[in-house]
Every structure is written in structure tokens, then in C-alpha cells.
Amino acid sequence: MTDGATFDFKDQVVLVTGAAAGIGFGIAQAFHQAGARLALGDLREPALKQAVDRLGRSARLFSQTVDVRDGRSVGELVTAAERALGPITVAVANAGIYPNSPVLEMTVEEWDSVMETNVRGVFLTCQAVGRRMTEQKTPGKIITISSGAHNSGRKGAAHYCASKAGVVMFTKVLAMELAPHRINVNCIAPGLITVDRDVSQVSDEYVRTLVANIPWGRPGTPDDIARAALFLASPYADFITGEVLSVDGGSGTGRTWLPYSGKSPR
């Protein structure tokens, strides 16, 4: 559990998509602990209700199902959240899917499904929130969630890797466009993160191999990502925009599996 007391968001309204479980719930929980008024959006209604119960139902919490692939659904979430809590000042576009399929076996439907959720969903969420912030002349923070896969391919995940690369470049361009409005737009790129729903999505061999090549020696947790989100949404990051913050225990540093090229250090 992230210690949200390190940051103070008691006067902030924070929207998180894909908030019912995993990284999204970890981020939502951290902002809730930091005092924010919190709007949770997720496609899965039962899981969303469970997330609200875990946080503890209160006047500071609002939840609504959302399909981030649908502009109308996203717009309804933003409007309802602001009606319940006030103008959104922080948004985390986290909703995404993580399938596996080799390119030669991948269907067009599988490709489109990933792109619609992981790229269109981020676009629609950021667009809706960005419009409200600019209309209301509200400085704010927008955070997208990419992956280490944005610059490191993986067999079986061409659609996923391509979608996360798209999120990175979208973030950079949006940061340029919203800077005059004093809206920061940054991206978090998680490495391997341990969440329950990933158990059936990646093999044990994949996890063991990847963990062996993480200099920090362990997979990440949702708390690791949540801490990065708190920082990027805080005043400490006011002069940071258009950046990608890798939270991966060092797995993206290079060929971590190679031995020392010379004599081993003492």
C-alpha cells in the first residue's frame, strides 16, 4: 500500500480509468489516501463496485462504468464526475488490455481490439479531460500509461507493443499542445508488474526469464506505479511535460543478461 500521506491532494479531483483492479486500482488507492476526490471508471461493473468497497464508500468517491473506446461513454464519465466532485485537475488514462497472439495467427479483430482500447481509449480520455481543463482555464496534470514494450518488442505482442509506442508519441504531441494552458502531460512506462489478472496472460517461463534480467531483482507492484503517478501529478513535477518515466527496476537499461565485459569487479 502506497503511503499517500507523502503527497497532499485534498483539493484535487482525480479521474482514473481502468481503476477496478491492478495498476489502476493501485493508482486510485494512492490518490484516495492522499486526500483527493476520486472518480473511478472501468468497463467491469462488478469489479468497479468491489474497488469502491475496498476504498470505503464516501462523498469523496464517485464511480461509473465506462467504455474508453466510445467517445460518448467517456464524455458521460467526465461530465458525471465533475458534477459529483468538481472540475477534474488530474487524469490518469490507464485502461488497457494485454493479449498475446503471434502476428501470423492474429486476426484483424484482435489487432483492432488492442488499438481501440489502448490507443483510441487514451486519446478519447485525454481529449475529453483536456477540453474541460482548457474550457475552464484549469491548470492540470494528465498521465498516460504505456509500457516498457513501447521500445522493446516481445514475440506474441505486436499489437500491444505497437499500441504502447503509439501512446508514447501521442503523449509527447499532446504535451506540446497543452503546455500553453499549463497542463502537464506525461507518461509512465511500467516494466513487469505483479497483478492478479496477469497470471493467465503470461507464462511462468516468461516471468522467470524477465525477473532474472531486472537489475533490482524483483517484479514491480502497483504501488511502484502509483508512487510515480503521485509524483507526476504533484507540484514537484510542474516543469516536467512530454516525458516517459520508466518504472521497471532497471530492465530497460540494456542487455542486463550479459556478464561483465572485463574482469568482474571486486
What Cα–Cα distance (Å) separates residue 15 from each residue in 103, 123, 177, 201?
34, 15, 21, 27
Tell me which residue has cell 509506442: 165
- What is the separation of C-alpha 73 from the centre of its chain, rounded to a whole number of angstroms? 19
Alpha-carbon distance of 8 to 33, in angstroms, equals: 9
- Three-class secondary structure of residue 117 per DSSP: helix
Alpha-carbon distance of 195 to 19, in angstroms, equals: 13
What Cα–Cα distance (Å) separates residue 138 from each residue in 67, 174, 182, 253?
25, 16, 8, 37
Q: What's 119's DSSP letter?
A: I
Annotated catalytic residue: which of 98, 160, 206, 236?
160
Residue 97: name the closest of 81, 78, 113 by CA.
113
Alpha-carbon distance of 106 to 159, in angstroms, equals: 9
Alpha-carbon distance of 63 to 71, in angstroms, equals: 18
260 tagged catalytic? no
Alpha-carbon distance of 191 to 180, in angstroms, equals: 32
**Annotated active-site positions, please?**
160
